[in-house]
A and B are shown apart, each in its own frame.
Chain A
């Protein structure tokens, strides 16, 4: 299978005086793969995600998304931010319709609507189409953000700590939903998280990053079988994988991060 995201020897510094944010970073994600980036806060993992999304350009190195160095339009790529970032003046439905409005030349309202409703069903949201974001709970808002990312049938999903601001129970609910959606829809995922358990639970492969400067410390293939259930986390295999990731982080010299 082809490589969908390629990051080759990328270096980025926000200012000349400081240490570079990222130095000599390499990463490749193949089609259909779900990769989690873990690392201490400030290691530049979110920056790496923004580079892949195309809103930042590297000082050195190259980034290829979907095979091309700079694909025209990024409609095949969608983004799930940490704090849902819904437009507060739009209803849930209108928020999910936004990617269509921004990218399509002609209006196909009925078709869009059906797709948006399907996306909302996919994330288990029913009967909230006409509600405004502030009327929803944090978990529901994050589901809407997920639906917005899935609605356009994007091939690549970038997730920037999508569950970081949720409570524990909602968080594991959404983790299970992500796994379920992966069974139903074909997409390549790159997700940033600082939660090692989350990373091992969700990913096909966990890439470990270190800080100062942001760099790759190593990667761990997660060969746990699908479908994955919550009880997986209490198995010795799971614990062993978490331990391996932990080891990489500790060798990276950031022992204060757990």
Chain B
């Protein structure tokens, strides 16, 4: 029997209608629920919208917080990737080093970053550098492990074939090992990017003067629950933005997966 190609994930219009419907449902439920509670426990959607307009009107203050967290997450992610990718190459290449280093990395990973964050703030200050470090540490592990797994995943038959064709070690690495690792590698980068936002916010909770995490921390103190919602929404927007960017990069770097 001939089977049809797998259905494409809904057309643009269909998707938009679904999204709109779900969004509307959430909003209606939310505003219905909020009528039972005081604003400082559950503000209504309109209250959150009002608070958002208010803070957005305060001369770039909100933009500053947003930019700060964005910068911390992006730089933290960049730092994590810059260290994790070369290291994963070394670990994949030298199994002995892998045996030596991996237990240390796993041990480090098992320390909750939330517990470590205050220490890093004490050491590196209230500024942006301690947050970058915390974000980097949060993002580091999945990038590293996926890198190692990806680079080790090369099909040995393909490697042999390339050797028969006369490929040297460098050529095997760049023309075979790297491209075949890319899908797994990107899985790690995707996770790392999301985690770096969490890291940045955790860092800001532990002591900061700006950032969306700091805003949440501040709003909690004054029971400005609507502001917490605004900050959470902003973080969600950031997450979606990251997702779109990395999806786009993936499609550019791995065009052969686009038409699957």
A interface residues with partner B (beta carbon < 8 Å): 50, 53-55, 73-75, 77-79, 81, 83, 85, 87-91, 98-99, 101-103, 132, 134-135
Contacts and interface: CB of A to CB of B under 8 A. Distances in A.
A81 B166 contact: no
B164 A102 contact: no
Given A87-B175, A89-B182, 12 more contacts: A53-B164, A54-B164, A73-B166, A78-B165, A81-B157, A85-B157, A98-B165, A102-B165, A102-B166, A102-B175, A134-B256, A135-B259
Contacts of B164: 53-55, 74, 77-79
B163 interface: yes
Contacts, number: 56
B157 A132 contact: no
B162 interface: yes
Given A87-B176, A98-B175, A101-B175, A134 B260 contact: yes
Given A79-B161, A87-B179, A132 B166 contact: no
Contacts of A98: 165, 175
A89 B254 contact: yes
A102 B167 contact: yes
B42 to A, nearest CB: 49
Contacts of B165: 74-75, 78-79, 98-99, 102-103
B109 interface: no
Contacts of B260: 134
Contacts of A89: 179-180, 182, 254, 256
A74 B161 CA distance: 11
Nearest to A90: B256
A88 B167 contact: no
B102 interface: no
Contacts of A75: 165-166
A135 B256 CA distance: 10
A135 B164 CA distance: 26
Task: Name the residue among B165, B180, B182, B260 with the largest chain A CB count within 10 angstroms.
Answer: B165
A87 B159 CA distance: 11
A85 B163 contact: no
